[in-house]
Each structure stands twice: as structure tokens, then as C-alpha cells.
Structure 1
Amino acid sequence: MFSEPDDPAVVDRMRAAHAVACAALGAAPGPLAAGGTREAWGWRGRTLGRPATGPYGPGWLRVVHSSVERAGGKLWTGPEDAERLVPRHVPRPRLHLVREWAEGDDVYRAELYDYVADGAVSAAPVLGEAPRLTAAWWSGLRTAIGGLSTVRTERTAVRQAYLDRAMPRYLDFLGRPVPTVPPAWSTAHGDLHWANLAGPHLSILDWEGWGTAPAGYDAALLYAYSLAVPETAERVRRELSDILASEAGRFAELVVITELLQSAERGDNRELVPALRQRAGEVSGPGG
């Protein structure tokens, strides 16, 4: 989740769109949380989610915005594809209703989900403090990652062309060539960070970008977003050791490090850069 956009025009436009979505789906804004209505903003105000009460009872209503020329594609259809293709034993809120509409050059998509009573483990993707999660939660996460990895799909979360272009550039500080072809591919959530995981009862949120990726990608991403809290980073490595200790897992770590170093250039999660660079050296060195 991200903070409310700085541009008040974006805030007003998205709140107005959310009201339109409520009317279109026969829903009403949900009850107030402590301190006011709970809002979950996406990157630069691209999405806005809020509790809602609709025809299926308590729910979560999320509105996505796009320009006309960029509407459609992988991110646009990800939640619907997940509802249709990902088995129910992978825990996530069910998607009940979808509506789309256009206003001039703007296109909106409304998605009504089951309400997840347990909040996200973290308010931000990068973990700030060690969460208290049960052994059952970790076991469920391992099962979910494993079950998702076998789902057959034509969706793509990470492309080989990106690896060929970006890995040599962002890992050049290692001073040695790095491979760019993964040992294996599998299906991944694609954005498995702490703001997309609910607890203490496990639920995986935000299925926009799921698809095929280097095997081990989800585990590697969660580990990278844990590096600011060494206690939890170690727990991730221990709980997902069968993935992260493998050749594929080590390669997936380099992929994730590449992506996060690139996003840090744009100002995202710069606090992780020293730990990411250190980890890249450890993963790519002798013994990995």
C-alpha cells in the first residue's frame, strides 16, 4: 500500500470513481475504522480500495484507473484470471463482481471482493518490524507458493527479455558476468511482499501481476522485502529454505535484486539498497 497521493485532484477523482463503483455494484461504503474510513491507495493513486457492504455482505471494493490507451492487458485482467484459474486452496479473497466504465480519456475498473478481516502484515511492502506469525501461517504460505507454482497459465510476470537487458546493467558492480537465463520457470504471484499478505490468518492479496517467473521468485521477493528486519529475513530463509537454497532460488534472488535496484533509481525503497548489494555478492559468490 502507498500513501494518499499528493495531488488533491487525483484524490478527488478516485474517491468520486469509488462512489460511482459503489452505485454500479449495489454496494455502500463500509463502516468506519478507528480514526476514519480505511483507504488503501495504490502507486501514485492508480488504485483505491475501501471497505464496502454489498450483495455478498461485507466486502472490499477496489477501483483501478487507466488511460484509454493503456487499459487492458496483464495488470488489468489479473484478478479475474486468478479467480478463474488459481485453485481455491491458495488463500485469497474471492472476487465476486467486476464493472468497467469510461469517462472521457479515463477508464475505470471496479472489483468487489470478500472482506479480509485480518489486515495486511505490514502497511508497506518493506517490513518495518518483526511480525508475530504462527507456524500454521508459515506452513500455509509454503503450501500456497507450492500450489501456485504448478498452475498453468499464459500470463507472464517476468520476461526473459527483461532479464537479458537489466541483469547485466544493475549487477555490474559485482565485477563478474552473471547468468540471465533461469534454471526453471514456474507460476508466481509476482508481488509477494508484506503489504500483500494478511495475518494472523493467511490470505494473499492483490493478484494484478501474477504469471510465470523464474522458479523461486515469490520466496526471493519476500526475503528481499524482509532485509530491513534481520530476524524476519532469517525466518523467511528458514521457512522457505527448500526454495531459496536451491540453484533456482539463488538465481531468483538475483532477479529480484535487479528489479529492486532499478526501482530504487526511481526513489522506491532506497533504504534496501546496501543490503541488496551485499546480498547480491553473497548469492553470486562461490557457494552462493
Structure 2
Amino acid sequence: MPAVWWSELHTALACVSAVRTDRTAVRQAYLDRAMPKYLAFLDGPVPTVPRRWSTAHGDLHWANLCGPELGILDWEGWGIAPAGYDAALLHAYSIGVPETAERVRREFFSVLDTEDGRFSELVVITELLQSAERGDGLELVAALRRRAEEVWQRMTADG
């Protein structure tokens, strides 16, 4: 996608994150239950409570994005999620195509390379590993587990 598309996506997500709502995209009870189960392979107890919540599209993956003019589809799941959730979700769904995943990481570095972003990556990885347990996205499992280990190492190194 051209630079203008990425710029418009950043603007759209910033606007969404500023919306106040009672809708929920990700529930704390889910994080408390699922993260310890699906991230048990990581060394140490994984936190389950985000520092910040913000409003998210909640289902930001490539099938819900249009181009070359930016369009964002499938809004029924929008609501409150851990801050950085949309960028983390787009990155996780890109992980099977390394060049695309790298582009997403570059574009959303200011989000993903933060405490909030790393936590959101673990949330999204949890969701996708649970989904793989039901047979969805099996081809991503190894890459998702590797990414979880990278993120976890960074989180524990940052203290």
C-alpha cells in the first residue's frame, strides 16, 4: 500500500481510539482466563491486566481493509480493548508473510514498541493460539509462538 494509505490508517485508528464507549471488544475476564493458558510456554507468569484501555476496531486484519483507497470494514466488534490492540492484531495476521509483518512493525513502531503495544501483542497471540486450537490459522502457530517469546523477552528485559 502507498504511504498515503498507511497515513490514513494511522489517522483512522487514532480517531477510533479517542471515541468514548461502553462497548467491549476484549474483556478482562477473558484475559485473566486465557493468557495464562495459551502463553504457559513463556518463562514466568504473564501479566493479564493492561496498563491502558482504548477504543479499537477490534477485528483489524487484511480481509477488513480495502485499498488503494483506505476502507475499513466489519465494525460489529468495535469497543474497548487494551491500548495498541488494532496494530497488534494487524501485525499478528501479517506474521505469515515476513515482508508484510516487517512493514506493519515499521508503520506501527510507535505503538508496538511500547509496554502497551507489547502487552497487546500477547493478547492477540493468545486469541489466535486459542483460535488455532479450533483449527483456524494453524499455519501461523509456530510464528506466533516465536513472536510471543520475542515480545516476552523484551517485556522482561524492560522490567
Q: Residue 212 of structure 1 aligns to a residue in which SS?
A: strand
Q: What's the CA shift string for 1:237-282, capped at 9, x where partnerless?
A: 1011110001000000000000000000000000000000000001
Q: Residue 41 of structure 2 aligns to a residue in which SS?
A: helix
Q: Residue 59 of structure 2 aligns to a residue in which SS?
A: coil
Q: Does 1:229 align with 2:124?
A: no
Q: What's the CA shift string for 1:6-29, capped at 9, x where partnerless?
A: xxxxxxxxxxxxxxxxxxxxxxxx
Correspondence 1:268-283 to 2 at 5 A = 268-283=136-151
Query: Which one of the candidate residues 58, 72, 78 is aligned to 1:210?
Result: 78
Distance 1:259 1:246 in 2: 20
- Tell me the amino acid that sits aligned with residue 274 of structure 1: A
For these two proteins, the number of residue pairs brought into alignment is 156
Correspondence 1:1-288 to 2 at 5 A = 133-285=1-153, 286-287=156-157
Structure 1 residue 176: Cα displacement: 1.2
Gaps of 5+ in 2: none
Q: Residue 172 of structure 1 aligns to a residue in which SS?
A: coil
- Tell me the amino acid that sits aligned with residue 202 of structure 1: L
Q: CA RMSD in A?
A: 0.9
Distance 1:281 1:155 in 2: 31
Distance 1:287 1:153 in 2: 34
Q: What's the CA shift string for 1:10-59, capped at 9, x where partnerless?
A: xxxxxxxxxxxxxxxxxxxxxxxxxxxxxxxxxxxxxxxxxxxxxxxxxx
Distance 1:177 1:224 in 2: 22
- Tell me the amino acid that sits aligned with residue 218 of structure 1: D
- Tell me the amino acid that sits aligned with residue 28 of structure 2: Q
Once superposed, which parts of structure 1, at least 4 consecutive aligned residues long, lie more than 6 Å away? none
Distance 1:232 1:266 in 2: 25
- Tell me the amino acid that sits aligned with residue 273 of structure 1: V
Q: Residue 233 of structure 1 aligns to a residue in which SS?
A: helix
- The structure whose RCO (Cα within 8 Å, separation 6+) is larger is 2
Structure 1 residue 175: Cα displacement: 3.0
Structure 1 residue 215: Cα displacement: 0.2
Report % sequence identity. 73
- Tell me the amino acid that sits aligned with residue 258 of structure 1: T
- TM-score of the aligned structures, taking structure 2 as reference length: 0.96
- TM-score of the aligned structures, taking structure 1 as reference length: 0.53
Distance 2:138 2:157 in 1: 28
Q: Residue 186 of structure 1 aligns to a residue in which SS?
A: strand
